[in-house]
Amino acid sequence: MSLIAGNSYDTTRQIPKYGGFNFALLHLEIRRILRNRRTMISVVLMPVLLTLLFTLSHKDSTEKIGLGNLSAFLVLSLALYAGTQSAAFGGSIVAIERLSGWSRQLRITPLSSIAYIAVKALTSLVLSLLSICAVFIVAFLTHQAHLPAGIWAACAACIWVGSLVFAAFGIFMGYLFPGENASQIISFAMLIFSFAGGIFIPLSQFPHVIREIAYYTPLYGLNELVHYPSLQSNFDIVWVLNAVVWFCLFFFGAAWKFREDTKRV
């Protein structure tokens, strides 16, 4: 409390409900990121081109994999890669915002670190959904990938929810590295994660030592979960634990870096 001209003023700042999280802020963030043309090109156009390249190159294949064919298996892998890549890219935009001085503005608001990370993660999910839809639409239009409708829906939902792991990863990296460096490092890291997680090359084709390491990488569990409905293989709870542990590491790492960043401004 401070006394000025005989009056008392409460200098404490009241913490808003839910740490400052609100749908008005979320709506603003979504509108802002959807207006970025370069972002839309990378989120929609690149997945479309990759899907056309892979599905059409295997159009004559009759190989069955689980409940679907080879093209369906590839489409799920591409949707997973595109969805997680877009989510990570959406999160990494915080690096650009730091350069523009947005962190300084956040410092004078009661917005909590958890609420801020939640808003950014949900915004990144919108980008992820656009990428996933782009891949699936192309796959359906080319009539090369075949799976039961219910399996398509289950796999798509798994990819979309699982993209939260990499939305948190993108935010974390956005606070670790400055400006454009963050997106470049994320692109390289996602490529490594994809190979290590068995998205592009089955883990059975790797040496034993590399396979053992791959089981602990961020995309391993999610990749297995995404393909599980179509393969109908034995379920392993380790897949879920892998995704949850990495999400917690990235999410709370991002929250920690947010607090450290705003302390300096």
Task: Quote the Cα angle for 128-200-62, to 5°.
Answer: 105
Q: What percent of the chain has pLDDT over 90?
A: 34
* For residue 260, pLDDT beyond 50: yes
Q: Which of residues 128 and 257 earns the better pLDDT score?
A: 128
List the domain boundaries for the chain. 19-263
Please, what's the b/e burial string for 240-260 (b: 16 or more CB within 10 A of its CB; e: otherwise)? eebbeebbeebbebbbebbee
* For residue 138, pLDDT beyond 60: yes
N- to C-terminal Cα separation, the chain: 25
What's the CA gap between 73 and 76, in Å, rounded? 5
Residues 6 or more apart in contact with residue 239 via CB below 8 angstroms: 220, 221, 222, 224, 225, 228
* For residue 128, pLDDT beyond 90: yes
pLDDT, averaged across the chain: 83
Q: How confident is the model at residue 38 (pLDDT cuts 50, 70, 90)?
A: confident
By CB atoms closer than 10 A (0-12, 13-18, 19+), residue 3 is exposed
Chain segment 57-97, per-residue pLDDT in tens: 766 566 788 788 888 888 999 999 999 999 998 888 888 77
Average pLDDT over residues 24-52: 84
Q: Which of residues 119 and 79 earns the better pLDDT score?
A: 79
Q: How confident is the model at residue 6 (pLDDT cuts 50, 70, 90)?
A: very low
Check if the beta carbon of residue 55 is closer than 8 Å to that of residue 115: no
What's the CA gap between 61 and 72, in Å, rounded? 11
Chain segment 157-166, per-residue pLDDT in tens: 999 999 999 9
pTM: 0.85
> Which DSSP state fits 13?
P
Helix then strand count (H, E) for the chain reads 12, 4
SS3 of residue 4 by DSSP: strand
What is the dihedral sign for C-alpha 215, 218, 220, 222?
A: positive
Chain segment 193-211, per-residue pLDDT in tens: 999 998 988 888 888 888 8
Average pLDDT over residues 178-187: 82
